[in-house]
């Protein structure tokens, strides 16, 4: 028997095996004909200290069902509510904080965006998510700037067998196909996903602009031995993503014709060394019927590197992390087309780059029936612009 909590495959395999053997012995002695196995998810390493003093934890359990967008999936957590626009770009809210005040990560990799609305990890399909870890409080020592409201770390599934998943929701004619598989030694797995949704309707039969079409591919290579412990790639391509809002479509209509993401990371044996990169491209069309059309193109390359480790000293536990997070080629260009006079204008709103060098440490100590936790972070950030 093999169990996984979605964070650390090897420890949970050992724990799951031992628990299964123990439960089998109990059945043999008591004569019971069923086994109850309860698995408690452990926090990511960087959250080991804050998890002891904040009500943080896994957001998903066995009752979760298929959803259209990632934010709705996370809404099952008691710490998360939804606000802002609906649809694929639904916004997550934690303790009254949203958007850039919530740090969003995928498999420990920070996700950035220039889009002003919605969840930054919207490119992750809900059916590909194994677990999400939520910290519902200020966590700047762990996440850096932008985490005053907390953070959400999304972890992807690692399929253990071939399977096909089909979903259909009549409300908005939502259709989804997920095909996943794994090789014989279970070191290489993959997921292929297709999703399509038409506009749903409100109580007055008016269209709620939440349509989209999206394709995703996940490739994972995992090994317990060797210098490369894990390699993970996520490719996502969406088109005709409508923005659901309270605006009158006759006055303003927003749609995202293209939205692409190429994300990847590699983890090595030495000091948990991790390198990552995330390239994103977004095209936005804002139409004001009879007046003008504004078209914005956004692009950026995010990359980084970090090392981390944990040390135990009797009742003290120290976890440290050092790394660099950078953003290159961050550009937002805008064009405006006049529908009345036919004028065309163009401007560049953003053209710059950013990088941050940081060192963070968390110390915890057992005290009677509680814990003392201390966290500190030192960072140096620079931003450069190339606008004339």
Residues 338-387 pLDDT 10s:
998 889 999 999 899 999 999 999 888 888 877 788 888 999 999 998 75
Percent of the chain's residues with pLDDT above 70: 87
Among residues 114, 107, 116, 106, the alpha carbon closest in space to that of 84 is found at: 116
Q: Is 48 helix (H, G, I), strand (E, B) or coil?
A: coil
pLDDT score at 110? 92
64 pLDDT higher than 70 = no
Phi and psi at residue 348, in whole multiples of 5°?
Answer: -110, 115
Give the full edge-to-edge strand order of the sheet including 91-94. Answer: 80-83, 91-94, 97-98
pLDDT at 26: 33
Which pLDDT belongs to residue 20?
28
Question: Do residues 189 and 128 touch, judged by C-beta distance below 8 A?
Answer: no
> The tokens 């710490």 sit on which residue?
79
pLDDT range class, residue 106, cuts 50, 70, 90: very high
* Residue 85: per-residue pLDDT: 67
Asked if residue 13 has pLDDT above 50, the reply is no
Q: What is the mean pLDDT of the chain?
A: 83
Q: Cβ(323)–Cβ(307) under 8 Å?
A: yes
Mean pLDDT, rounded, for 101-116: 87
Share of the chain above pLDDT 90, in %: 46
Q: How confident is the model at residue 7 (pLDDT cuts 50, 70, 90)?
A: very low
pLDDT of 56 strictly over 80: no
pLDDT-wise least confident of 34-38, 146-150, 278-282, 327-331:
34-38
36-50, 241-255, 285-299: which is most confident: 285-299
Calpha distance 204→199 (Å, rounded): 14
pLDDT 10s digits, 275-326: 999 999 999 999 999 899 999 999 999 999 999 999 988 888 899 999 999 9
* pLDDT bracket for residue 246 (50, 70, 90): confident
d(CA 64, CA 72): 10
pLDDT reading at 30 higher than 50: no
| Band (157; pLDDT cuts 50, 70, 90) | very high
Q: Which fold has domain 43-385?
A: Ferric Hydroxamate Uptake Protein; Chain A, domain 1 (2.170.130)
What would the DSSP string read from start to end of 176-205?
EEEEEEE-TTSSEEEEEEEEEE--EE-TTS
Top-confidence residue, 99 or 85: 99
User: pTM here?
Assistant: 0.84
User: With 90 as the cut, is the pLDDT of residue 273 above it?
Assistant: yes
Distance from chain centroid for Cα 296:
24
65 pLDDT band, cuts 50/70/90, is low
Tell me which of 119 and 355 has the higher pLDDT. Answer: 355
Q: How far apart are CA 204 and CA 78, in angstroms?
A: 31
| Alpha carbons 201 and 111: distance in angstroms, whole number | 32
Residues in the chain: 388
State the DSSP string of 32-52: -S------PPPPPGGGTTGGG
Beta-bridge mates of residue 119: none
From-to residues of CATH 2.170.130.10 in the chain: 43-385
- Residue 182 confidence (pLDDT): 96
The predicted-structure confidence for 196-231, as pLDDT tens digits, reads as follows 999 988 888 888 888 999 999 999 999 989 999 999
Phi-psi label, residue 292: left if phi above 0, alpha if psi -120 to 50, beta otherwise: beta
């Amino acid at each position: 028997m093999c169990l996984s909590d979605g964070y650390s495959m090897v420890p949970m395999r050992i724990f799951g095996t031992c628990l299964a053997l123990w439960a089998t012995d109990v059945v043999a002695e008591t004569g019971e004909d069923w086994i109850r196995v309860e698995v408690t998810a452990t926090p990511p390493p960087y959250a080991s200290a804050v998890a002891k003093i904040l009500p943080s934890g896994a957001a998903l359990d066995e009752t979760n069902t298929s959803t259209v967008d990632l934010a709705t999936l996370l809404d099952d957590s008691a710490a998360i509510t939804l606000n802002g626009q609906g649809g694929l770009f639904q916004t997550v809210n934690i303790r009254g904080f949203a958007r850039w005040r919530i740090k969003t990560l995928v498999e420990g990799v920070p996700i950035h965006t220039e889009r002003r609305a919605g969840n930054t990890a919207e490119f992750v399909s809900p059916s590909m998510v194994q677990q999400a870890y939520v910290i519902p409080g200020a966590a700047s020592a762990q996440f850096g700037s932008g985490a005053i409201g907390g953070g959400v770390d999304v972890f992807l599934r690692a399929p253990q067998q071939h399977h096909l998943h089909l979903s259909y929701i009549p409300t908005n004619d939502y259709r989804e196909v997920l095909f996943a598989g794994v090789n014989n030694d279970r070191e290489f797995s993959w997921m292929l996903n297709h999703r399509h949704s038409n506009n749903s309707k409100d109580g007055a039969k008016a269209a709620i602009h939440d349509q989209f079409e999206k394709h995703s591919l996940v490739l994972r290579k995992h090994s317990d031995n060797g210098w490369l412990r894990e390699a993970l790639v996520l490719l996502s391509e969406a088109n005709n993503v409508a923005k659901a809002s309270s605006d009158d479509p006759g006055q303003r209509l927003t749609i995202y014709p293209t939205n692409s993401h190429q994300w990847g990371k590699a983890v090595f044996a030495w000091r948990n060394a991790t390198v990552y990169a995330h390239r994103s491209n977004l095209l936005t069309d804002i139409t004001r019927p009879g007046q003008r059309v504004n078209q914005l193109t956004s692009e950026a390359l995010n990359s980084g590197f970090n090392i981390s480790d944990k040390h135990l000293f009797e009742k003290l536990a120290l976890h440290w992390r050092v790394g660099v997070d950078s953003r290159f080629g961050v550009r937002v260009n805008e064009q405006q087309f006049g529908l009345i006079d036919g004028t065309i204008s163009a401007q560049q709103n953003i053209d710059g780059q950013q990088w941050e060098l940081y060192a963070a440490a968390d110390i915890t100590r057992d005290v009677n029936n509680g814990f003392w936790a201390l966290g500190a972070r030192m960072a140096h950030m620079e931003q450069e612009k190339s606008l004339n």
